Amino acid sequence: MIGFPQLRCFVAVATELHFGRAAQMLHMTQPPLSRQIQLLEQELGVALLERTSRSVSLTPAGSAFLVEARKLMEQSERAVQIARRAANTLSGTVTVGFIGSATYGFIPKLAERAKEELPNIHVNFLEMNSVEQQEALLFGRVDLGIIRPGPRAEGLESVCIEKGDLALAVARNHPLALRRQLVTLKQLDDLPFIMYSKVGRYFQGVLTTMFERAQVKPRYVQFMDQTHAILSLVSAGMGVAIVPEDARNACFENVVFKSLQTQTQYELHAIWRADDDGPAVAAVREIILRQRVSSQT
């Protein structure tokens, strides 16, 4: 199937009749440019360009195809402009609930993209836990939610928007802070450990399962609801903790993050009312889903 990247490459070479200038115009190097042209010719089953060591010229098939390729590119650009104009005409307020740990990475990016792409929509952010968000969605107090995985109430739809690694958080003067190798779960056996409370039941469940499988028993000294509260106690030297890796962005000066020797990852989900087809909500949801794609590629 012919893709627009191939069309752009062909139109550039056909216009410049020079691979070097075309590559420079497209901000790429010549080898991948040549590869795109080859793939296009293979897909069409015809030669579009005559190449010699000194020149590039169009074949009769290439000349005919160039006319249609330019039309397709113009139609593509027109479709983008129409979509952007439609987005700019949307207005209103969309309220997005989110869990606190989403502020370390996902929420700032979402806020930036929504401000850029939907200037006439005010996105209002409300911090609340995952259970509170589902209730708020059902009663119409929020339009979209950013939650942890778990049981989903009837009438709501959700999708995974992010997967990430876990990291060990330790105080800067802790012996594990100086370790260069990956930290194993066995090294946490009987160590003072700050655990997520039942309010943060998703992470509590993930960590409990990890420890049971590894036959490790940390010594739980505190149970806290939120990641930033856990990190504050780690900073005070009360114990170690396992948190989302992007919690590095929380910027606790006395906390060091160490990579773990485990394949366990955490998930972040978006959730919304299944019957909510409002255009403003749909536009913000589309940004969330596109952000999901970019974060997983």
> For the segment 22-36, what is each residue's pLDDT rounded down to a tens digit?
888 888 888 888 888
Residue type, 288: I
| 293, pLDDT greater than 80 | no
pLDDT value at residue 47:
93
Domains 4-88 and 93-297 share a fold: no
Q: What is the mean pLDDT of the chain?
A: 89
Residue type, 186: K
pLDDT value at residue 86:
65
Confidence class for position 85, pLDDT limits 50, 70, 90:
low
- With contact defined as beta carbons under 8 Å apart, do 266 and 205 qualify? no
Global pTM reads 0.65
- With contact defined as beta carbons under 8 Å apart, do 117 and 146 qualify? no
Q: ∠ CA 234-238-239 to the nearest 5 degrees? A: 65
What percent of the chain has a predicted confidence (pLDDT) above 90? 56
Side-chain half-sphere of 256: how many Cα atoms within 13 Å? 14
Query: Which range (83-97, 139-153, 177-191, 209-223) has the least confidence?
Result: 83-97
pLDDT value at residue 242:
96
| 203, pLDDT greater than 50 | yes
293 in helix, strand or coil?
Answer: helix
User: Which residues sit opposite 171 in a β-bridge?
Assistant: 255
DSSP string, 129-181: -HHHHHHHHHTTS-SEEEE-S----TTEEEEEEEEEEEEEEEETTSGGGG--S
pLDDT value at residue 294:
46
At 216-234, the pLDDT tens digits run 999 999 999 889 999 999 9
Q: ∠ CA 9-10-12 to the nearest 5 degrees? A: 65
Class at the top of the CATH hierarchy for domain 4-88: mainly alpha
283: Cβ–Cβ under 8 A, 6 or more apart, which residues?
Answer: 87, 90, 94, 117, 118, 121
93-297: CATH topology? D-Maltodextrin-Binding Protein; domain 2 (3.40.190)
| 297, pLDDT greater than 50 | no
Tokens for 93? 């307020």
User: Which residues sit opposite 130 in a β-bridge?
Assistant: none
Exposed/middle/buried for residue 106 (C-beta within 10 Å: 0-12, 13-18, 19+): buried
Exposed/middle/buried for residue 25 (C-beta within 10 Å: 0-12, 13-18, 19+): middle
Confidence class for position 126, pLDDT limits 50, 70, 90:
very high
Domain map (residue ranges) of the chain: 4-88, 93-297
| 244, pLDDT greater than 60 | yes
* Angle, in degrees to the nearest 10, between helices 4-16 and 30-44: 110
